Amino acid sequence: MIRPHTPIKPRLATRYNGIEYPSRSCMGARRYLAAPHAGFTLVELMIALVLGLLISAAGLSIFLSSQRAFNLHESMGELQQNANFALAVFTQDLRHTNLNTASDQKINNKIVGAGIIFAKENVPLTLDMKDLETKFVSLQAQDTDSTTGKSDRLTIQYVPQTSPIINCEGREVTDATSKVIVQHYYLKQSPQQISGQPTAYSLYCDAGYYQSGDTSITNINRSAQQIMQRVDAFKVRFGVKSPAGQLRYMTINQYKTAMASITNTADALNIVSIEVGILARSTGRISAEANLNSNKEFSLAGQVVTLAGDEAQNQKYLRQVVNQVVAIRNTLGAS
């Protein structure tokens, strides 16, 4: 039988006359263990330090680049969501313009019940409001905004097909089929301002109603609601149809000027569509990409607007132009 191999242990000591003496192999091991370890030279240490700094700098650069890209995409997403969603809700309301009114499906500034209110001629004679034509009708270049000019106002009216309804303020209107709903859109400063950012404006809607025999618009100028935040400018123009069937676009003032010399309603220029333009701004800054964001002029509903204020500060925020044309279906049966 073969016995398993047993490793031979090194002889560490020798006993003589009861006294144990260390062996040569043990003394050699002790001398080996006591030998000093080799270290890095100063040059090696400096090279390692430089390489570490280069790797850290590369990692930091990648992190900062990713952070800037994230901020840019987040601002773009927030901007598009705010602009597109709010405008979708806004234009849905505009499609009610002229519904079931007493205008015989026509819209101009001389007919009672016209879906767009320009003047007192568009409402019943009993509705005698002193500030109607200065505050609550459609007006061009009326409200201060973030540009060198001013924003427009738009006022529509309609009679709902069903009852109750929810108006643009988010409030329920009961017995709505017997009321003329008035919705007034305009720009004003937002109550929530962020320090260090450009002045923030919002698109508001002020809603009310009137019935036969009323002398004022109920609930108007009481509880207007924000329907879109961070709007730098709001512009309106109309698709206008001549008696000969010719179509063209006109701003509010252009339309009023063209209609000023027309006395015969058969020759009136009737409005068949509304184009609204909104310049929306992001909340978040875009940091290093600001030098690429140098556009100061924008086209809203066929009108050029120019940003006001500090140029360097304006470049830190993304802006998006949203133009939307709404065909007024409640004019299709007009003769």
Is position 136 within any domain?
Answer: yes
Is position 98 within any domain?
Answer: yes
Structural domains of the chain, count: 1
- Is the pLDDT confidence value at 317 over 90? no
Is position 118 within any domain?
Answer: yes
Q: 0.85 exceeded by the pTM?
A: no
| Strand (E) or helix (H) holding 271 | strand 270-285
Closest Cα partner for 91 from 294, 274, 318, 232? 274
Q: Over pLDDT 90: what percentage of the chain?
A: 57
Q: The dihedral of CA 146, 149, 150, 152: what is its sign?
A: negative
Closest Cα partner for 289 from 73, 77, 79? 73
Mean pLDDT of 285-310: 84
Q: What is the pLDDT of residues 169-182, one digit of tens each?
A: 999 999 999 999 99
**What pLDDT score was predicted for residue 293?**
75
Q: Which domain holds residue 150?
A: 65-331
In this prediction, residue 87 has a pLDDT band, given cuts at 50, 70 and 90, of confident
Is position 42 within any domain?
Answer: no
**Do 137 and 125 meet the contact criterion of CB atoms below 8 Å apart?**
no
- What lies within 8 Å, CB to CB, of 119 at 6+ separation is 109, 133, 137
Is position 312 within any domain?
Answer: yes
Cα–Cα–Cα angle for 315, 153, 75, rounded to 5 degrees: 30
The residue with greater pLDDT, 82 or 316, is 316
**What pLDDT score was predicted for residue 191?**
92
Is position 51 within any domain?
Answer: no
Q: How far apart are CA 189 and CA 37, in angstroms?
A: 74
In this prediction, residue 37 has a pLDDT band, given cuts at 50, 70 and 90, of low
Is position 128 within any domain?
Answer: yes
Is position 188 within any domain?
Answer: yes
